[in-house]
Amino acid sequence: MHDAARSSERPHRSGRPFNHPVETGLRSLCVLYEAFPRRYDLQRLVFFDYLIVHSGDAPSGPDSLHPPTPFRSNEFLVRRRLVEDGIRLMLSRCLVDTVVDASGFHYAASESAASFIEALTAPYTQSLRRRAAWIARAFGQMPDSELSDFFNRNLDRWGSEFEFIQEWDSEGSNG
């Protein structure tokens, strides 16, 4: 009875352990913080969200934060909504500012972001920050068209190595 009462006091969980707005929002916030005072639009943050998780896919990138998965480039197709939800969460906590100009909506780390980010000392967060700093250096000033071309050239390769292994394994088991 006591355990049942205690479990009902637990906060509601969405059941999504990964790619929750808290996780995607923190990834975007790390990139915006490391790139400050630069500001980025949503599409660029979607590109950077892929790179911060799968940094090993990029030439001269650090090891990927998450293990490689088959067809991981398909993740890119569903990230826009996740990143948007994460940015919205960070906006609601005043950790990200919106800048609107003639070219559209852009996001930047707010003044509050520094104290928040620097208070996070877990090894995972430190790994995020190192990869975010690499993204800011390697891709932060890359023109939009060049960044888009980089993704278009590589999306069909990222994660396809598992497809070749699966084909080879199928051929080996049949022959």
HEC secondary structure over the chain: CHHHHHHHCCCCCCCCCCCCHHHHHHHHHHHHHHHCCCCECHHHHHHHHHHHHCHHHCCCCCCCCCCCCCCHHHHHHHHHHHHHHHHHHHHHCCCEEEEEECCEEEEEECHHHHHHHHHCCCHHHHHHHHHHHHHHHHHCCCCHHHHHHHHHHHCCCCCCHHHHHHHHHHHHHHC
* Alpha-carbon gap, residue 43 to 135, rounded angstroms: 15
Residue 29 in contact with residue 90, Cβ under 8 Å? yes
Question: pLDDT of 66-115, one tens digit each?
Answer: 887 777 777 777 889 999 999 999 999 999 999 999 999 999 999 999 99
Q: What is the mean pLDDT of the chain?
A: 84
The average pLDDT across 162-174 equals 51
Instruction: Answer whether residue 6 shows pLDDT above 80.
Output: no
Instruction: Answer whether residue 169 shows pLDDT above 70.
Output: no
Q: What is the pLDDT of residue 167?
A: 53
Tell me which of 53-57, 146-150, 168-172 is least confident.
Answer: 168-172
